[in-house]
Structure 1
Amino acid sequence: MIGSALKLLRDELSNYVFQNKRPTDAITEDDIILHNIALMDGETHGDLNNKIIITLVNTEEESTLKNNSNTIRTLNGTRYVEPPVFLNLYILISTTLGQDLQDAYEFALHRLSLVIQFFQAKKSFTVKNSPFTTVSGDITISQEEKDELRLNVELYTLTFEQINHLWGSLGGKQVPFAMYKVRLVKIQENTEEDAPVIETIERIENMINADCDE
């Protein structure tokens, strides 16, 4: 589900950036990618130049939805199902520099502006309201999972101390970026356990009635 959620956001963002880029900007839709920005200074860093990179940096359980019931009433009795986990995802969107471009930093800043514009204009995402996502036609993703993809995206502001810690832990030099909090991603294992119909109360009630008759 996490991968599907981020893929949906990436596809929609890719189309927006490509449609609104500067005429002199050679960025393509394939240059908006899901990748680990921490690898920017590694051996494959050349593949991450001149890109918009979406990186998952943290996950958080939504505590307000933690105490949902784990029982479902059916015609045959009660079914026990572990309640789903609802996650908030913290994603870092970085605009990396093109090594051969004279105005690389300016291009990176413009792309970051497009990212912020996109999420300012559209904050809620589903498969139905995201016509450019490849998730809708992905046969490896169940229809139920597609229907449950309901994401709300908000800009998340870091303090200077948090920024230093973040980029220090990523082990790379800071590039133009924005952090977003994505609510809510539902995670649930498709296992459930049948439980017998509760008959104890009925038996006790019958015993009480029998005593009263005597």
Structure 2
Amino acid sequence: MIYSALEFLTQELNAFIKLKVGDTVGDTNGDRIFLSSVTNENGIIIPDKSLGLSLINIEEERTLKEQKSTFINSVGKVEKRNPDIQLNLYVLITANFQNKKQNDSSDDYVEGLKQLGYAISFFQAKNVFTKENSPRLAGIDPGLSKLVVELYSYSFEQLYNFWTVVGAKYLPSVLYKVKTIRVQENAIQESGDPIEKIHLDTLHKS
């Protein structure tokens, strides 16, 4: 579910950025954004001259937590299962353009800022994704029905702490909160017939 949501957003962003930079059908430049961790033990692993979309945190959305645990299934039986979990994903989009190659404008810091700006423009224009306005969502995972993407601002201290933890020098980046991912394994704990009548015994001995 998490992978499906992030892969969908990566595909949508990639199509938009390639359109913005002028890639044509059959262009050999390849993808412009990759679903990738930011670093590993060897440093930045986002491919050079590209953007990276990275999951950096997951939180439970408690305000939408469903408390109901019993349901009537399609054949009229009562089923008991744990309530859904609603998740928010914190996603970092990073521009890895570090001027590694001289006289190569595609490897330029400025080009990285441009492409990062395209990503911001994309979510400004469209931050709610449904099966109606995004046909690709319908085919990527039947459990995904709606994604809402919000720009998330964090302080300089939080920014410093993040890049210190990942062990890399700061790269231009922007953080988004993706709401909400529904997790339901449909593991049935109990099953039985529904209670249709309640009999009260009002007779008692004096």
TM interval, short-chain normalised: 0.7 to 0.9
In structure 2, the CA distance between the partners of 1:189 and 1:12, relative to structure 1 (3 Å rule), is same
Q: 1:110 aligns with which of 111, 114, 139?
A: 114
Partner of 2:130: 126
How do residues 129-148 of structure 1 correspond to structure 2 at under 5 angstroms?
Answer: 129-131=133-135, 133=136, 136-137=138-139, 141=141, 144-145=142-143, 148=144
How far 1:127 sits from its partner (Å)? Answer: 3.7
108-117 or 96-105, larger mean C-alpha shift? 96-105
Cα distance in structure 2, aligned partners of 1:175 and 1:27 = 26
Partner of 1:70: 69
SS of equivalent to 2:52:
strand
Q: Unaligned regions of 5+ residues in structure 2, if any?
A: none
Instruction: Give, as a single letter, the amino acid of the residue that structure 1 aligns with 2:47.
Output: L
Cα distance in structure 2, aligned partners of 1:194 and 1:120 = 46
Partner of 2:158: 162
Q: What TM-score do the two structures reach when normalised by structure 1?
A: 0.80
Question: Over residues 146-183 of structure 1, what are the superposed CA-to-partner deviations in whole Å (9 max), with x where a residue is unaligned?
Answer: xx331000100010000001111111111110000000
In structure 2, the CA distance between the partners of 1:84 and 1:70, relative to structure 1 (3 Å rule), is same
Is residue 2:34 matched to residue 1:38? Answer: no
Instruction: Give, as a single letter, the amino acid of the residue that structure 2 aligns with 1:155.
Output: L
In structure 2, the CA distance between the partners of 1:92 and 1:185, relative to structure 1 (3 Å rule), is same
Partner of 1:55: 54
Question: Over residues 7-42 of structure 1, what are the superposed CA-to-partner deviations in whole Å (9 max), with x where a residue is unaligned?
Answer: 11111100100001168xx99452311000123x72
Q: 1:181 aligns with which of 160, 163, 177?
A: 177
Question: Over residues 63-114 of structure 1, what are the superposed CA-to-partner deviations in whole Å (9 max), with x where a residue is unaligned?
Answer: 1112431111356452212111000100000010152235610001001110
How far 1:128 sits from its partner (Å)? Answer: 3.5
Matched residue count: 195
Q: Contact 1:71/1:80 (CA < 8 Å) preserved in 2?
A: yes
Q: Unaligned regions of 5+ residues in structure 1, if any?
A: none
In structure 2, the CA distance between the partners of 1:62 and 1:28, relative to structure 1 (3 Å rule), is farther
Q: Contact 1:149/1:185 (CA < 8 Å) preserved in 2?
A: no
Q: Decide which structure has greater helix share.
A: 1
Cα distance in structure 1, aligned partners of 2:28 and 2:159 = 27
Cα distance in structure 2, aligned partners of 1:181 and 1:162 = 15
Q: Contact 2:43/2:168 (CA < 8 Å) preserved in 1?
A: no
Partner of 2:168: 172
Q: CA RMSD in A?
A: 2.7
Is residue 2:192 matched to residue 1:195? Answer: yes
In structure 2, the CA distance between the partners of 1:153 and 1:27, relative to structure 1 (3 Å rule), is farther
Q: Contact 1:156/1:179 (CA < 8 Å) preserved in 2?
A: yes
SS of equivalent to 2:39:
helix
Q: Contact 1:167/1:173 (CA < 8 Å) preserved in 2?
A: yes
Cα distance in structure 1, aligned partners of 2:192 and 2:39 = 48
SS of equivalent to 1:57:
strand
